[in-house]
Amino acid sequence: MDEEELVKDALRGFDRSLLEYRALRDAMELEIPQQLKQWGVFDFRVEARVKKRGSFEAKVRRDPAKPVHDMVGLRIMAFFRSDLTRVERMTRRVFEVVEESYIDKGNLLGDESFGYRSVQFVGHTRGAEPFDAFAAGLPVEIQIRTMLEHVWAEVEHDFRYKPQSASPDPEINRRFALTAALLEQADRNLDDIRRSMEDR
């Protein structure tokens, strides 16, 4: 099968599965908040999405032989960094994690560096509750971060990686790093504040 046929075959598969992808997205938006509360996480935002057909096609065309695992995406944003461990444990209970896909972006930063932080990995449905209406093995790209990390990621992506004719200004890079450091400290401060209030 040549590359164009591989692309067409992938698109046919996407179209056949689109209703199932949308149903899984809707189920995750309903069920994941309930799961988080059962795990004692109460301050969060959950977003789920289905990849747009055009984005899917562009990804397939870059490497038609490589499977696409992010047709459905789940992003969980905790208000407090200290909740991230419980969030990850919950997702591991609900989904079968593909360990080789696991990336902690924070670990890619040097000891003296500040920047993009997020945990992301691919998980598969288990064919069990809370998603027993879906077959086992449906892939979901999962991202876990704090709300402040999410703000950083969105702003940096929109401003720093826009197509530009000139090379990035070192002063802008420095200010981005400073902002990332401030947000990281703010995450720690929020944890400290919550801990102090709980200890009263």
Q: Does the residue 128 lie in any domain?
A: yes
Local confidence pLDDT in tens for the 200 residues of the chain: 678 888 889 999 999 999 999 999 999 999 999 999 999 999 999 999 999 999 999 999 998 888 888 999 999 999 999 999 999 999 999 999 999 999 886 554 444 444 456 789 999 999 999 999 999 999 999 999 998 888 877 776 666 555 555 666 777 777 777 777 788 888 888 888 888 888 87
| Token output for 196 | 């102090």
Q: Look at residue 115 in the predicted model and tell me its pLDDT.
A: 46
Alpha helices (H) in the chain, listed in sequence order: 3-38, 53-62, 84-94, 147-160, 170-198
Q: Does the residue 133 lie in any domain?
A: yes
Q: Label residue 110 exposed, middle or buried (CB < 10 Å: 0-12, 13-18, 19+).
A: exposed
Q: Does the residue 41 lie in any domain?
A: yes
Q: Does the residue 158 lie in any domain?
A: no
Q: Does the residue 87 lie in any domain?
A: yes
Range of the domain at 74: 3-147
Buried b (16+ CB within 10 A) or exposed e, 22-60: eebbebbeeebbebbeeeebeebebebbbbeeeebbebb
d(Cα 45, Cα 33) in Å, to the nearest integer? 8
Q: Does the residue 80 lie in any domain?
A: yes
d(Cα 71, Cα 50) in Å, to the nearest integer? 6
Q: Residue 3 has what DSSP assignment?
A: H
Could you give the number of structural domains in the chain? 1
Looking up residue 85, the CATH number of its domain turns out to be 3.30.460.10
The pTM score is: 0.82
d(Cα 94, Cα 92) in Å, to the nearest integer? 6
Q: Does the residue 176 lie in any domain?
A: no
Q: Look at residue 113 in the predicted model and tell me its pLDDT.
A: 45
Q: Does the residue 162 lie in any domain?
A: no
d(Cα 22, Cα 155) in Å, to the nearest integer? 27
Q: Which of 82, 157, 150, 90 is nearest to 117 (CA)?
A: 150
